[in-house]
Amino acid sequence: MPYWWNLYGKNQKKRNAKIGKDKSGQATTSSNKELLGNNLDENVKNIIKLTGNSTDIIIRKLDISPNLRIAVIYTDGLVDDKTINDFLLEGIINEDISKPFVSFEHALHVIKEKMIAIGGIKSIHNWNDLFLSLLSGETIILMNGSFEALSVSTEGGEKRQISEPGTETTIRGAREGFTETLRTNTALIRKRIKNPNLWLETFNIGKVTQTDVAIMYINGIANDDIVQEVRRRLQRIDIDSILESGYIEQLIEDQTYTSFPTLYHTERPDVVSANLLEGRIAILVNGTPFILTAPALFVEFFQAADDYYSRFDISTGIRILRVIAFFLSIIAPSFYIAATTFHQEMIPTLLVITVAAQRESVPFPAFVEAVIMEVIFEILREAGVRLPKAIGQTVSIVGALVIGQAAVQAGIVSPAMVIIVSITAIANFATPSFSMAIAARLIRFLFMFFAATLGFYGLIMAVLAMTIHLCSLRSFGVPYMSPLAPFIPNNADDTIIRMPIWAFKERPRLINQKNIIRAGKNQKPHPPSKQSNNKNETGEHE
């Protein structure tokens, strides 16, 4: 028995008494953080047993000195093979060690400092951390006689390359989009915000999946109370799996029973960076390119990245058009139903005669006619999403044309109803956010019911009820309709109307309550003075 082993074993009885050990040196505690044993063969057998002898768990045993054996363990497919071969295994194998180690601490020091040419080395003392690191793409080094294992950062494997987002295309903006890799996503944000106050906190959520979930915020700009609330809601999640950011969204939102989204999600790094600079918190989930930002405001869902890259007057006009299209997608069928069923006197005479002639052969009331067309169109739209991309769009367009024309010729629906449903569908596509657009698709049927029951009175009641509901919503304590309700004049420069960039002097007050000022004074462009023009013309300063 080596001398250093005897020295190390003198304190072994005290440690065993504290944690409870059996004769084989394995920990006997029943907690999830069961401590590692000091018998290399037993530890390796335990890993093989608990992983079901999975063939992608690679175990390589090495004798690195006359008195020390180690095992290098990693998961094939999750690691960078070149890093392991060139900077880990090669360094261990080629290290010439003819003398035995003096002590266990000496052995650990030599392995860390002389054998492994990789950063990100950490110590592991329990099985829970060992399997979490092993199945996250890190390489585990076990040592005979040691109650401590080393975890080496060797993450790699196949990953999708950075590409343009498929759901948020722009004309002038960047073409980079988030991927399914957490570290790639954080790097895309740090490329845009080179500030040490951009802080990142990571959690493991999901008892089975152990998914990495991170929050990112700018310290000194983000509201500390909101950051603490986001942290608290994430920490109280107790679920077996987190497979996408939609899981997180549904588990931490303020209001469950609402169709309107109270968290914003995006695939664009520039959008997340802009939200962070306003004081919001980004929530990143490993395995999905969709990043959540909180708090979310109603007006935020009608803004696009292109709005800030174009002139303010053009962006304002487009935003107003989006809002009009949103309300049109909600009330257009309801307005038609109310007008043709209860309030024919409000329609011009020639138009009402034309509509009546078209509906003469239709056997259904306007409400049933609208429901039939809306349901058919929703089926076609859903089928177009699920079908292969090569034929999905073609099937949707051809199906809508063929079915619409056939329905009119068969006398099931009127041509006017086909026009109304088509306008509604096109207006719905004008909303930049898919989550807000799909909410309008659902609310539309509720408005149609009220219009068919009480006419314009029912439609007005539905609009008022929706407005009251929107004003009652909160996103992490922030009013959903702010800065419109409550109205904050200083923050109304980037709502439906977008003022010039030089006018953005303050951050949103309800989101950020410190470091409000985000632009200096006199940022408005000024034309050159006449004196400067005269000097340039005479060439005095050339």
Average pLDDT along the chain, 542 residues, taken 10 residues at a time: 39 44 40 77 93 92 81 92 86 69 69 81 91 92 88 86 86 89 94 94 93 94 93 95 94 92 94 93 95 94 91 92 94 93 87 85 88 87 76 69 79 87 90 92 94 94 95 93 87 87 83 78 74 55 44
pLDDT of residue 20: 44
Say what the pLDDT of residue 535 is: 58
Predicted pLDDT of residue 447: 95
Query: By the 8 A CB rule, do 293 and 264 touch?
Result: yes
Identify the residue whose tokens are 């109205």. Answer: 487
Amino acid at 249: E
| Confidence (pLDDT) at 367 | 92
pLDDT for the residue 18: 42
206: its two tokens: 């999901």
Q: Which residues contact 309 (CB under 8 A, 6 or more apart)?
A: 170, 172, 173
pLDDT at 7: 36
- 3-class state of residue 271 by DSSP: helix
CA-based nearest residue to 337, from 309, 359, 313, 354? 359
pLDDT at 23: 39
Token code pair at residue 251? 């588990």
What are the residues whose beta carbons fall under 8 Å from the beta carbon of 174, sequence distance 6 or more?
Answer: 268, 269, 270
d(CA 362, CA 405): 14
Would you kindly state where each structural domain of the chain is located, as residue ranges? 3-152, 182-296, 312-479
Phi first, then psi: give them for residue 246, nearest 5 degrees: -65, -30
Give first-to-last CA distance, the chain, whole Å.
86
